[in-house]
A and B are shown apart, each in its own frame.
Chain A
Amino acid sequence: MLTGASVLFVLVITLFLLVIWRPGWGAGVSPGRWLVLGGLVLPGIVLIPLVAYALIAGESLLPSPGHTPPRIEAVARQWTWTFHYPDHGGVETRNVLHMPAGTPIDILVSSQDVIHAFWIPRFAGKIDAVPGHVNRLRIQADRPGRYAGQCNEFCGLGHAGMRFDVVVDRPEEFSAALARAAAAEGSEKK
C-alpha cells in the first residue's frame, strides 16, 4: 500500500511539474480524455482491488461464527485495565494481560466509565471500550514474549499513562503462568 501510494504521489506531482515546465506537453491528450483517464480510470484501477483486498483481510480480524476461540475480558476504567479469564476459573490480573502464543484469542472489551480503546501496537487491530457495550477483537500472538499495550482513546488526565503489559507464554505453560501471576496479585492485595 505504501509503495502504491508513493507511485501515485510521484505520478501526480510529475504530471503537475511537466505541464508547467513543458508547455504544450499534455496538450496532445484532449481535455475530455484527461478527465476520464485521471478522474475515472486511474481511481478505478487502484481502488477496486484495494477495497476487495481490505475486505478479505478485514474478515480475518473479525470473529467468525461457529468457531469460538478462548476468551479474555478486558475491562477499562480511568486509568487501569483489568483482565478476566473466564476459561480459567475467572481469575483476574491488573494492567498485565496474559495470553498463550500461536492461537487466536477473542478479547471482550468493555468500560466502566468513559470511552477507552484497547490496543497492542505489535498485534493487528484495536477496538474501543464503550460503556454499556461489549466489543470483541480477535488477536493472535505468534511468538512468546513481552509486549506493550495502551489506551488509544483520549480518556482524561491519566490517558498517557494508561498502559498495560502483555505477557505471551508458550501454550503449554500458559495456565500455570497465569495462575502464578493471579496468585501473586492476590497476595499483593492482601
Chain B
Amino acid sequence: MSEPVDPLSQGTPALRLHRQLSAIWATGSGLQRLAAVNHSVIGMRMMITSFAFFAIAGVLGMLTRVQLATPNSPFMTSETYNQVFTMHGSMMLFLFAIPMVESFAVYLTPKVLGARDFAFPRLTAYGYWCYLFGGTILTVALVAGAAPNSGWFMYTPLSSNVFTPDINSDVWLLGVTFVEISALSLAIEIVVSILKMRAPGMSLDRMPIFAWYILVTAMMMIVAFPPLILGSILLEVERAFGLPFFDPTRGGDALLWQHLFWLFGHPDVYIIFLPMAGVLSTIIPVFARRPLVGYRAIVVAIIALAFLSFGIWVHHMFTVGIPHLALAFFSAGSAIVAVPTAVQVFAWLATLAHGRPRWDVPMLYVFGFFFIFVMGGLTGVMLAMVPFDWQAHDTYFVVAHMHYVVAGALAFPMLAAFYYWMPLLTGRTAVHRLSVPAFWLVFIGFNMTFFMMHLTGLRGMPRRIYTYSGDEGWNWLNLLSSIGGFVMTIGFALVVIDLFVQLRYGKRVRRNPWDSTTLEWAMPIPPAPYAFASIPDFGTTRTDSTVPNDLTLSLARGEGYLGFARNGWQETLGVHKTSGVPDQLIVLPSPTYLPLYTALLTAAAVLAMLFKFYLLSLGFALVTACLFVLAGQSAGLPRDYGPLPVGRGVSVPPHTEVADAPAWLALICALVADGTLFTSLLFGTFYLWISAPNWTAAVAPEPSRTLAIGAVAALAVAAATSRGSLRAATAGSGASGWIGLTLLALLAAIAAAVGQIADIVPHPREHALGATAAALIGYVILHGGIGLLFLFSNTLRLRAGFISPRRVLDLRLTRLWLDYTCVTGAIALGLVLALPALVTVVGARP
C-alpha cells in the first residue's frame, strides 16, 4: 500500500489532500509495520495468513486421501492419521474459514459503508495477532507430533485426561480458544462499526446488502462463540484441575460437551456461509447489470436464518439417545432452514432472469457455487430426516455433505470474490487463459473427490477410520476420491499462480471495471490508508444505485465530509444507528505496538497454561489485563471541544462528548457475549442436574447463606456507588471518594465469594455438583476482578484529565459493568444457594 499511482490525484487540490491525509493515516515502513492498526493492512494480512493455514490444512487433507486411496495402506499409523484428520478439520474451520470471512469483513466493510476505518483499530490489530499466535501454537504442535487427536469436535470423555493424558487436547482447547478471542473481539468491532460508522444519510434499510450479511454474521458470532469458549474453559479446567464437568463417573455428563459444542458448531456453518452469500448478493447484481431483486426479502431471510440456526444444533446429535418428540422438533426445524435459503437462491435467479447477464471469471465461480451448494443443501435435507440420519450419521455421506455445504459454499464464492476485488488492488483483471482452466480443475476435482464420498458412505464406510480391509466394496470409490483430491489441489495451485500473474501481467483496466455500484470502487487504486479523502453523502440516493465513477473525483477533491486534515487526527464520522444522521466525530488512535505486546503477553499466558505453569500463567494474564488498562489511557481527548465542523456546514461533537459513543455500544455487545456465556453456564448446571448419571450419590451441599447474601449486597452497593461517582463527575465535583467506596464494596464482595469457594461441599474435585458451584462462584469473582480494573482505569483517567462533566463515558461504562456483575452475581449465588433444594428434588428422579 505505498503511494497510489493514480491519475486522479494529479489534480492539485486532490493531490494536496492526499498528501496531508496519507501523512496522518499511513502505517510506517520497516519494523513499524508491526505497529499497524489500519483495517486495510490488517485485513490483507489476515487474508494472507488464513490462506496460508488453508494451504497447510489442504496438505493435511491430501495426506488423508493418500492414506485412504488404497486398503491396508502402510503410509500412516493410526496415531498419525488421528492427528492429521483432527488438525485438517480444526485448521480448516478455526484457522481458515472463520478468519477468512472475517478478513473479508475487515478489509471491505468500512469501504463499502463509506467509513475510513473500523471503530477500534487497536482491537483489530490485537485480534489479528491473537489469531496468528494461536494458529502458530497449533501448527507447531502438529510439527512436534503433539497435535490434537480426538477429532475436530473433541468429544469427551475421549478428549479428557483419562483417555488423552498428554498435551494434545490442551493444545486444541487453549489454541482454539485463543483464536476465538480474536474472532469474538473482531465480531464486536464489526457490529459497532456497521451500526455507528456509515456514510451520512445511509440509513440501515438502505445499507448495501453486503453490510447486512456481515452485520448479521457478526451478531451471530457474538452469541455463538461463548458456548464453545465456556465448554473449552470447563474442559480445560477438568483436565488441569480435576473438576469433573464431563466425567460421568463423578456426576458430569459427556453429552454436555456435545450440546455446548454444537450450540456453537451449527451456527458456525451459517457464520461461514452468510458472508459468502453476501459476496454473491454483491457480485450477481453487478454481472446481471440490474439491482438485486428482493433486498428486503433477503434481509428478512438472513435474519430468520440466523435465528433458526441457533435452534437446530441437536441435529448433529440425532444418535445420542434423544427423546422422540425432541427429535421430531429438531428434524422439522432443520428442514425449515431450507426456506430462507431457497428465498436467497431464487432472489439471485430472479436477479439474473431480469437482468442482462454477462460472463466473466467471477460468474464462473458463481456457477460452481450454485451447482455445489444446491447439491449440499439437498443432502442436508435428507440428513435432517431422522431415519435417514440414523443410517448415514458419521459415515462418509456426512463427510461429503459437509464438504459440499461448508467447503464448496465457502471456496467458490471466496474465489469469485478474489477475482472480483483483485482489480481494486491491482488495477488489472485476470488472465483468462489461466483462470478458466483453473476453475474447471477445482470444480471437477471437487466433485470427483466429494461426490464419491456420498457413495462410499451409503456403502457403509464410517468416517475417521485410518484403514479398511479392501473387501467392503469401497476400493475404487476411495481411489477416485483421492485422484479427485489431487486434481483439485492442482486447480488451487493454478488459482494462486493466476492471482500472482495478475499482479504483474494482468490486463490493465479502468477504475471500477465491472461497473459495480458500491462505494469501495469510489477510491484510489490501490485503496489509500485513509480510504476516502472525503466521505460522501447519501441524503436521498439509493445506496445500491451509486455510480462510483462520478463520485470518485469529487470525493478525492475533498467535496464530501471531512475533506481536510485537522490536528493530525485520524477522523471519521459517527452516525445515528438507524437513520444515518451524523452525530459525532470519531477520532481514531494512531499506529502503536501496544496490540502486539498485549497479544504476545496473552500468548505467554496461554503457553504457560499449556505447559502447566499455572501461577506463571495467572501472572501473565494479570499483566495482559494491565496492558488493556494502559491502552485505555491513550484513548479519547484530554479536553472538551464542543461541536466541531465536519464539512458541508455540519458540526458535531467528538465521540468523547456524546452518549452514544462506539465504546458504549461495544460494551453492550461484549455483555451480550458474556451473558450468553453465563446463560450457557446456567444451562450446563441445570443440564447436569437433570440428566447426568451418578448425580444422586452426592453429599448434600451446605452453602453459607451469610457469605452469599453478603456478596450480593456488596455488589449492589458497588453498583449504587458507581452511580454516585457518575453524578459527581457530571456535576463537576470530585468523583474519587465515590470510586473509593465502590472499590471497598467490590473488594468485600470478592472476599465473600472467595470465602465461599473455599468450603464447597462436595469438594469440587469429587463431584460435578461442587464443580458447578465453584464455576458459578468463580464467574462472580472474575467479574468482580474485572470491575476492579475498571475502577483502576477510572482513577488514572480522572487524574490525567480525560474525564470532565461532558466526558463521563468512562464512568458510564463502569456503571454498566457493575450493574451486570450485580445481576449475574445475584443469579449465580442464588443458584448456589438453591442447589441443596435442587439435589433433594433430584433424589426423586427415576
Contacts and interface: CB of A to CB of B under 8 A. Distances in A.
Interface string B381-417: 1100111101101110000000000000000000000
Interface stretch (B117-125, B332-340, B770-778): B332-340
Contacts, number: 219
Interface in A36-77: 37-40, 42-44, 46-47, 50-51, 53-55, 57-59, 61-62
Nearest to B346: A38
18 contacts: A1-B385, A16-B370, A19-B352, A31-B293, A31-B294, A34-B293, A35-B293, A38-B343, A39-B339, A46-B381, A47-B335, A51-B332, A54-B331, A59-B324, A114-B155, A121-B460, A156-B158, A160-B466
Contact of B346 (A34, A58, A122): A34
Contacts of B352: 16, 19-20, 26
A37 B347 CA distance: 11
A133 B693 contact: yes
B468 A160 contact: yes
B767 to A, nearest CB: 14
A47 B382 contact: no
Interface of A: 1, 5, 8-9, 12-13, 15-16, 19-20, 23, 25-27, 29, 31-32, 34-35, 37-40, 42-44, 46-47, 50-51, 53-55, 57-59, 61-62, 78, 113-115, 117, 119, 121-122, 124-128, 130-133, 135-136, 150-160
Contacts of B344: 39
B354 A128 contact: no
Contacts of A57: 387
B297 interface: yes
B336 A128 contact: no
Contacts of B834: none
Interface of B: 78-79, 82, 150-151, 155, 157-158, 162-163, 248-249, 253-255, 293-294, 297, 301, 319-321, 324, 327-328, 331-332, 335-336, 338-340, 342-347, 349-357, 359, 363, 367, 370-371, 374-375, 378-379, 381-382, 385-388, 390-391, 393-395, 459-460, 462-468, 692-694
A96 B387 CA distance: 25
A8 B378 contact: yes
Nearest to A28: B353
B465 A160 contact: yes
Nearest to A118: B319
Contacts of A25: 353
A19 B353 contact: yes
Contacts of A51: 331-332, 335, 385
A5 B378 contact: yes
A1 B382 contact: yes
Given A47-B381, A58-B387, A132-B692, 13 more contacts: A16-B370, A23-B355, A26-B353, A34-B349, A35-B350, A39-B339, A39-B347, A43-B339, A50-B335, A51-B335, A117-B319, A131-B249, A152-B393
A34 B388 CA distance: 31
Contacts of B157: 113-115, 131
B463 A154 contact: yes
Contacts of A126: 319, 390-391, 393-394
Nearest to B81: A160
B336 A47 contact: yes
B254 A115 contact: yes
Nearest to B359: A20
**Interface of B (DSSP majority class):** helix
A2 to B, nearest CB: 8
Contacts of A59: 324
A115 B163 CA distance: 11
A147 B468 CA distance: 17
Contacts of B350: 26, 29, 31, 34-35, 38
Contacts of B343: 35, 38-40
A43 B338 CA distance: 7
A160 B461 CA distance: 10
A75 to B, nearest CB: 14
A26 B390 contact: no
Contact of A19 (B255, B338, B357): B357
B78 A23 contact: no
Nearest to B392: A126
Contact of B349 (A16, A23, A46, A125): A16
A27 B354 contact: yes
Contact of B254 (A8, A23, A40, A132): A132
A55 B339 CA distance: 20
B453 to A, nearest CB: 15
B293 to A, nearest CB: 4
Contacts of A27: 353-354
B357 A23 contact: yes
A153 B394 contact: yes
Given A119-B462, A131-B248, A157-B79, A13 B342 contact: no
B464 A26 contact: no
Contacts of B694: 132
A98 B344 CA distance: 51
A78 B692 CA distance: 22
B331 A12 contact: no
A137 to B, nearest CB: 8
Nearest to B369: A16
Nearest to A116: B158
Contacts of B391: 121, 124-126
Given A50-B385, A160-B467, A154 B378 contact: no
Nearest to A121: B460
A64 to B, nearest CB: 10
A42 B339 CA distance: 9
A37 B346 contact: yes
Contacts of A46: 338, 381
Given A51-B332, A114-B157, A128-B319, A35 B346 contact: yes
A26 B347 CA distance: 12
B347 A34 contact: yes
A47 B155 CA distance: 32
Contacts of B466: 159-160
Contacts of B297: 35, 39
A29 B343 CA distance: 15
10 nearest A-B pairs in the assembled complex, by CB-CB distance: A26-B353, A38-B346, A132-B248, A39-B343, A132-B693, A34-B350, A121-B460, A135-B321, A160-B465, A54-B385
A150 B634 CA distance: 62
A9 B339 contact: no
Contacts of B359: 20
A130 B387 contact: no
B462 A151 contact: yes
B155 A42 contact: no
Contacts of B321: 127-128, 130, 133, 135-136
Nearest to B393: A126
A124 B390 contact: yes
Nearest to B162: A113
Given A38-B345, A158-B78, A160-B467, A153 B155 contact: yes
Nearest to B160: A114
B374 A13 contact: yes
B460 A155 contact: no
Interface core residue of B254, B342, B347 (most chain A CB under 10 Å)? B342
A58 B342 contact: no
Contacts of B336: 47
Contact of B378 (A9, A15, A117, A156): A9
B151 A154 contact: yes
Interface core residue of B78, B319, B465 (most chain A CB under 10 Å)? B319
Contacts of A40: 339, 342-343
Contacts of A38: 342-343, 345-346, 349-350
Contacts of A1: 382, 385, 388
A26 B354 contact: yes
A55 B331 contact: yes
A117 B388 contact: no
B158 A154 contact: yes
A154 B331 CA distance: 24
Contacts of A26: 349-350, 352-354
A50 B381 contact: yes
